[in-house]
A and B are shown apart, each in its own frame.
Chain A
């Protein structure tokens, strides 16, 4: 019976399919996407503003949001920090020896900025901004780029009125016309020019990371050639001295389960912070030996003025200050540059502090 019914349905469908070419070869796999699902994922915005959700945000709110969410990498005014990209500036540099490509100088469409902030920023906490917050941040960027006044409010209705300076600066790939006729020539095989000489060497710049050289000798001469295999062996032979014992003592007072839980929670920190052997400063300072250390004292890390002030006040990272800072970073040290909303759960904070404490030597 059911077999017959299936056969009937298939036949009926086949009849329909005949009338609609687009259906001709469907397998019937997958299911219809629900409107809520499409709304959640289909958020891209086109240059003409299609795809923008209703909302608004002004320059003033955008500045606060910028300081909290963006300035740590892109600078207070969008000028960039460290190796992170600047967002504004650079107009007129596109023909210079070192062009500065920013939203202001290079990007063609404001829709791209809105879409990118909305989907991909802030780095390490993407897709957490509210719609109005995205409008406000984009308004602040437009203001910082000198495109709008400080009383400007950006919304879905006036969005396309703000045009970026370099909108006309792009053209479609013309390599087939501009290059193929030059490169599609029968190649020369002999007497193709004068004998050559070296005009530039990579070794003069000395910017190549170290690498092992593979000599492929496979004879007794190999002993002279350093191989990659030697390095870890020598490292392993370096005797470990006392500090390891000290570490064991400190760690012994900690609840291993809590430390393990903290290691899980550490995932939200590791985008910016390193801890453990070989930890280095990155976007944030390395955090070895942080418990009971003075605030703002990690070697080689450039702190925000807010942190420098806290350091001068003699603040120490004991369990109480760590807990308060982790709960609300801006609450303990206002206007600091750590772009992080805080950990709500007291248990999770305790686990994180246990994990941090496990890296005391």
Chain B
């Protein structure tokens, strides 16, 4: 290993003159290893010959009114695991987090979970009703929502079953499949509190029941305290209208809580004096424990992180020398305070560099600027949030929860990287 963990801990950010000199020495080392290939045998024709794109003309401004990524990026797509579910209409797919950087997830490749398929519901046909223990049961049109005080926040949305296939041991050999039930978007919309105030919640109204307009009419109960805290009725994501698969024209945003609560095509908010105990909060999204009983109302998503590159889909392609280790960290209980990275399966750790200011209940990107010596690595990342919660190991979780709880697996992931730079999903002793 080239970086001493204690150095990284002492100087997690910024750089002193001494650091700069040390880095320069490392760079010189890189050249000595031969990784730099400082001299070319023959001139590069990409430079010496005039290329077509440097001579002929490209596309005009009228060619692409709404653009897709350039075709070289065709592989950066959602993928699904066919054997997981009986039918793709009631199923889930996975965000290609291995190939993304930054923190915002483009809507077009952000994971989808539908229970009866993604539906087409126009803004004109959209209605939102508030019923139950309210002073005034109300119906809103989409136009009504646009007239209400608007807010904008960025939050991650993680399915409670993200990493759920890994309870019994390493199973899926790709970070897209082990950790891809997550996305992070900038939402524009209205506070749920604003809507509830319009209807006037009666004192005995202690829960809301939120329900979608699709054929599954997925419904979940949320305690009033959370409903009045930071929940949003969102209609824009990442600056544009929600995509159909994310609930166009309106979805609920329940920051930091499991994705199943983020009801898409939101059509009704019922105010009640207790939880509805719907199918999705009893038979599903309850966590079976080793004694045969199950935890319910495990809404919060706890601190978690994963290295997205290198990973099985993103091996080290260049041999020894400078490289970037990067990943994502998040917590449903606030901001990420720190991310540590281990290259040896958890024996020693160094603190990663956080890119940008960590947001509340939002994805945080981390980097480790590493000079690889070409030896095998057991890569791990460990997130810590502002409450002091430290991401546990999978074995720590299993010791408490067994292996049949399906949901809320936030254990530390290990990628074994061999001498060729290939990475694979493993569990270590």
Report which A residues bind B (CB closer than 8 A).
Answer: 22-23, 25-27, 29-33, 37-38, 41-42, 44-47, 73, 82-84, 94-95, 99, 101, 103, 106-109, 111-112, 115-116, 119-120, 123-124, 126-127, 169-175, 178-180, 182-185, 187-203, 205, 207-209, 211-217, 225, 227-229, 232, 271, 282-283
Q: A73-B86, A115-B278, A189-B349 are in contact. Are A38 and B137 (CB under 8 A)?
A: yes
Q: Which residue of B lies closest to A33 (CB)?
A: B137
**Closest 4 A-B residue pairs measured CB to CB?**
A196-B345, A228-B75, A215-B317, A83-B86
Give the number of residues in B that approach A within 8 Å (Cβ atoms). 116
Asked if B217 and A175 make an inter-chain contact with CB atoms under 8 angstroms apart, the answer reads no
Q: Does B147 contact A (CB under 8 A)?
A: yes
- Find B129's partner among A29, A38, A127, A213 (CB 8 Å cutoff): A38
Q: A112-B283, A211-B174 are in contact. Are A201 and B426 (CB under 8 A)?
A: yes
Q: Which residue of A lies closest to B290 (CB)?
A: A95
Contacts of B176 in A (CB 8 A): 211
A212 to chain B minimum Cβ distance, whole angstroms, is 5
Known: A94-B294, A107-B283, A108-B277. 12 other contacts (CB 8 A): A22-B135, A22-B202, A26-B200, A33-B130, A44-B270, A47-B277, A112-B278, A120-B115, A169-B294, A178-B400, A196-B346, A196-B378
Q: A26-B200, A30-B138, A187-B349 are in contact. Are A112 and B282 (CB under 8 A)?
A: yes
Contacts of B302 in A (CB 8 A): 175
Report the bound CA distance from A205 to B424 in whole Å. Answer: 12
Q: A26-B197, A180-B389, A211-B313 are in contact. Are A37 and B276 (CB under 8 A)?
A: no
Asked if B83 and A207 make an inter-chain contact with CB atoms under 8 angstroms apart, the answer reads yes
Asked if B272 and A126 make an inter-chain contact with CB atoms under 8 angstroms apart, the answer reads no
Report the bound CA distance from A123 to B202 in whole Å. Answer: 36
- Find A184's partner among B345, B388, B424 (CB 8 Å cutoff): B388
Asked if A184 and B139 make an inter-chain contact with CB atoms under 8 angstroms apart, the answer reads no
Q: A99-B288, A175-B295 are in contact. Are A115 and B279 (CB under 8 A)?
A: yes
A271 to chain B minimum Cβ distance, whole angstroms, is 6
Asked if B277 and A37 make an inter-chain contact with CB atoms under 8 angstroms apart, the answer reads no
18 contacts between A and B (CB under 8 A): A26-B198, A42-B270, A46-B274, A95-B290, A95-B291, A124-B116, A127-B217, A171-B293, A175-B295, A175-B298, A180-B389, A187-B384, A189-B9, A192-B347, A196-B347, A201-B416, A211-B174, A217-B318
Asked if B390 and A187 make an inter-chain contact with CB atoms under 8 angstroms apart, the answer reads yes
Asked if A185 and B279 make an inter-chain contact with CB atoms under 8 angstroms apart, the answer reads no
Asked if B71 and A187 make an inter-chain contact with CB atoms under 8 angstroms apart, the answer reads no
Asked if B197 and A25 make an inter-chain contact with CB atoms under 8 angstroms apart, the answer reads yes
- Taken residue by residue from 35 to 63, chain B's Cβ proximity to chain A (1 for < 8 Å, 0 otherwise) reads as 00000000000000000000000000000
Asked if A120 and B71 make an inter-chain contact with CB atoms under 8 angstroms apart, the answer reads no
Report the bound CA distance from A187 to B342 in whole Å. Answer: 12
Asked if A202 and B74 make an inter-chain contact with CB atoms under 8 angstroms apart, the answer reads no
Q: Does B144 contact A (CB under 8 A)?
A: yes
- Find B428's partner among A23, A198, A216 (CB 8 Å cutoff): A198
Q: Does B360 contact A (CB under 8 A)?
A: no
Asked if A170 and B296 make an inter-chain contact with CB atoms under 8 angstroms apart, the answer reads yes
Q: Chain A contact residues: over half helix, strand or loop, or mixed?
A: loop
- Find B75's partner among A182, A196, A214 (CB 8 Å cutoff): A214
Asked if A44 and B392 make an inter-chain contact with CB atoms under 8 angstroms apart, the answer reads no
- Taken residue by residue from 72 to 83, chain B's Cβ proximity to chain A (1 for < 8 Å, 0 otherwise) reads as 101100011111
Asked if B382 and A187 make an inter-chain contact with CB atoms under 8 angstroms apart, the answer reads yes
- Taken residue by residue from 241 to 270, chain B's Cβ proximity to chain A (1 for < 8 Å, 0 otherwise) reads as 000000000000000000000000001101
Q: Does B177 contact A (CB under 8 A)?
A: yes
Report the bound CA distance from A30 to B132 in whole Å. Answer: 16
Report the bound CA distance from A22 to B204 in whole Å. Answer: 13
Q: Which residue of A lies closest to B397 (CB)?
A: A179
Asked if A183 and B389 make an inter-chain contact with CB atoms under 8 angstroms apart, the answer reads yes
Asked if B75 and A227 make an inter-chain contact with CB atoms under 8 angstroms apart, the answer reads yes
- Taken residue by residue from 165 to 187, chain B's Cβ proximity to chain A (1 for < 8 Å, 0 otherwise) reads as 00001111110110000000000
Q: Does B107 contact A (CB under 8 A)?
A: no
- Find A37's partner among B81, B129, B389, B404 (CB 8 Å cutoff): B129
Report which B residues bind A (CB closer than 8 A).
Answer: 5-6, 9, 71-72, 74-75, 79-83, 85-87, 89-90, 98-99, 115-117, 129-132, 135-141, 144, 147-148, 169-174, 176-177, 194, 197-202, 209, 211, 215-219, 267-268, 270, 272, 274, 276-279, 282-283, 286, 288, 290-300, 302, 312-315, 317-318, 340, 344-350, 378, 382, 384, 387-392, 396, 400, 404, 416, 424-429
- Find A172's partner among B215, B297, B426 (CB 8 Å cutoff): B297
B248 to chain A minimum Cβ distance, whole angstroms, is 19
Report the bound CA distance from A27 to B148 in whole Å. Answer: 8
Q: Which residue of A lies closest to B213 (CB)?
A: A41
Report the bound CA distance from A82 to B86 in whole Å. Answer: 7
Report the bound CA distance from A38 to B211 in whole Å. Answer: 13
Asked if B349 and A190 make an inter-chain contact with CB atoms under 8 angstroms apart, the answer reads yes
Report the bound CA distance from A108 to B429 in whole Å. Answer: 38
Q: A187-B349, A190-B5, A216-B314 are in contact. Are A208 and B274 (CB under 8 A)?
A: no
Asked if B272 and A46 make an inter-chain contact with CB atoms under 8 angstroms apart, the answer reads yes
B175 to chain A minimum Cβ distance, whole angstroms, is 10
Report the bound CA distance from A182 to B148 in whole Å. Answer: 44
Q: A123-B90, A183-B392 are in contact. Are A214 and B99 (CB under 8 A)?
A: yes
Report the bound CA distance from A202 to B198 in whole Å. Answer: 52
- Find B5's partner among A180, A189, A216, A271 (CB 8 Å cutoff): A189
Asked if B173 and A202 make an inter-chain contact with CB atoms under 8 angstroms apart, the answer reads yes
- Find A190's partner among B199, B295, B348, B391 (CB 8 Å cutoff): B348
Asked if A196 and B200 make an inter-chain contact with CB atoms under 8 angstroms apart, the answer reads no
Report the bound CA distance from A228 to B173 in whole Å. Answer: 18
Contacts of A127 in B (CB 8 A): 215, 217
Contacts of A25 in B (CB 8 A): 197
Asked if B216 and A192 make an inter-chain contact with CB atoms under 8 angstroms apart, the answer reads no
Asked if A172 and B296 make an inter-chain contact with CB atoms under 8 angstroms apart, the answer reads yes
Report the bound CA distance from A190 to B5 in whole Å. Answer: 7
Asked if B173 and A32 make an inter-chain contact with CB atoms under 8 angstroms apart, the answer reads no
Q: A44-B276, A213-B313, A214-B314 are in contact. Are A192 and B346 (CB under 8 A)?
A: yes
Q: Which residue of A lies closest to B195 (CB)?
A: A30
Report the bound CA distance from A317 to B44 in whole Å. Answer: 65
Contacts of B378 in A (CB 8 A): 196
Report the bound CA distance from A84 to B378 in whole Å. Answer: 38
Asked if B98 and A214 make an inter-chain contact with CB atoms under 8 angstroms apart, the answer reads yes
Asked if A215 and B138 make an inter-chain contact with CB atoms under 8 angstroms apart, the answer reads no
Q: Which residue of B lies closest to A48 (CB)?
A: B274
Asked if A229 and B138 make an inter-chain contact with CB atoms under 8 angstroms apart, the answer reads no
Asked if B297 and A209 make an inter-chain contact with CB atoms under 8 angstroms apart, the answer reads no
A105 to chain B minimum Cβ distance, whole angstroms, is 10
